[in-house]
Amino acid sequence: MFKTIAPLVCGLIAALASVGLADENDLFSGVRTDAVFVDSSSKGTISPVARINSTDQLNQMLTAAGLESKIAGSRVVLVKKALDDWAFNVLVTISEDEMSIGLTMPLSTLKDEAKLNSLQLLKLLEANQLHAPSVFTFSTQRKRTELFRILPNESITGQKLRDEINRLAVLAKGTVDLWKMPSAEAQTTDAAATTPATSISAAALIGAWSAAKSKTEALAIRFDADSKFQLVYVKSGKQTKSKGTFSLQAGTLSLVGDDGIRLQGKLAITSATKFTFTPSATIGTLEFSKATNPQAAK
């Protein structure tokens, strides 16, 4: 079954050329055809810096972007990032060769390494495949889990750094069950997270997904960190596109299109790469799989 529908799913994720609207009874009938999986955000007005070469320069850039920051070392600036009821620390570091900028978010401390769970480490490795280029790791030197991201030190703006820090915070909040160390004596987190994540987090949806109902009917959807979605629906060679905002509360996923389309139903995460969505009894349950090639959704 998978082999027969794979070409259809791959074609969706690659955003096939538009061939007309779906029939009147289709899932998204009458939806305005528009670009999908394309970054439509407006370009910033702040000129990028060719290369950051001092912590003073880095600190001024982060402060100008509205972040609470202070110099914490010869090459390190400490940023405090608040997200809802959570508060995270982020270490922004200039590499010694000044070729890259590192973002390191301390997570959960484990004083006794003997209690380190190998299964949890395997889950962190699996998460790295899903959330690359952001990476989870355990530092034996600092005895804690960390989330980090490396950026090339070129054409940097404060807004770009802020966006990347925001993405790390959203990811960390949505994956607390992965990185929280199994020790009742350990600190909750070095990041001072004060509220546990719900069993299903919107952060777990970020990325591109696809679902096939038959050999001729399938969907592809992309969820972004700013609560925006972009969707393609294909049936019998006819394609319909939609975009808008999404929300996830108490296991219920809601999609509100810019053109007025609304879908709401129960969502269940079945694995790190699959979830089910039941928008209505008529449509039935859709099983989505995460795109294996992130570039294919762009």
Q: What is the pLDDT of residue 13?
A: 44
Convert 49-87 to b/e letters by CB count within 10 Å (16 or more is b).
Answer: beebeebeebbebbeebebebeebeebbbbbebebeebe
For residue 93, the surrounding DSSP H or E stretch is strand 86-94
Between the alpha carbon of residue 122 and those of residues 117, 172, 291, the distances in Å are 9, 17, 21
Rounded CA-CA distance 164/143 in Å is 25
Q: What is the pLDDT of residue 91?
A: 92
The side-by-side arrangement of strands in the sheet containing 68-71 is 68-71, 76-83, 86-94, 100-109, 144-152, 135-139
The two tokens of residue 228 are 């925006």
Convert 226-246 to b/e letters by CB count within 10 Å (16 or more is b).
Answer: eeebbbbbbbeeebbbbbbeb
Residues 280 and 265 sit within 8 Å (Cβ to Cβ): yes
pTM of the predicted model, to two decimals? 0.46
Q: What is the pLDDT of residue 104?
A: 92
Domain ranges of the chain: 2-42+200-297, 55-179
Q: What is the pLDDT of residue 24?
A: 33
Q: What is the pLDDT of residue 282?
A: 67
Number of CB atoms found within 10 A of residue 177's CB: 12
Residues 112 and 183 sit within 8 Å (Cβ to Cβ): yes
Q: Following DSSP, what letter does each residue of 230-290 receive, concatenated?
A: EEEEEETTEEEEEEEEEEEETTEEEEEETTS-EEEEEEEEEETTEEEEE--TTT--EEEEE
Q: What is the pLDDT of residue 229?
A: 93
Q: What is the pLDDT of residue 200?
A: 66
Q: What is the pLDDT of residue 192?
A: 37
Give 132's DSSP letter: T
Residues 185 and 111 sit within 8 Å (Cβ to Cβ): yes
Q: What angle do CA 261, 266, 269 make, to 5 degrees?
A: 115
Rounded CA-CA distance 56/291 in Å is 41
Q: Which CATH architecture has domain 2-42+200-297?
A: Beta Barrel (2.40)
Rounded CA-CA distance 105/80 in Å is 10
Q: Which CATH architecture has domain 55-179?
A: 2-Layer Sandwich (3.30)
What count of residues does the chain have?
A: 298
Give 206's DSSP letter: -
Reading the chain (298 residues) residue by residue, the pLDDT tens digits are: 444 455 554 454 444 333 333 333 344 333 333 333 334 444 444 566 778 889 999 999 999 989 889 998 888 999 998 887 788 899 999 999 899 999 999 888 877 666 666 777 777 777 788 888 888 888 877 888 888 899 998 888 889 999 999 999 998 888 887 777 765 333 333 433 333 334 567 777 888 999 988 888 888 999 998 899 999 989 888 888 999 999 888 788 899 988 888 888 888 887 778 888 888 766 778 889 887 654 444 4
**Which amino acid is residue 95, in one-letter code?**
S
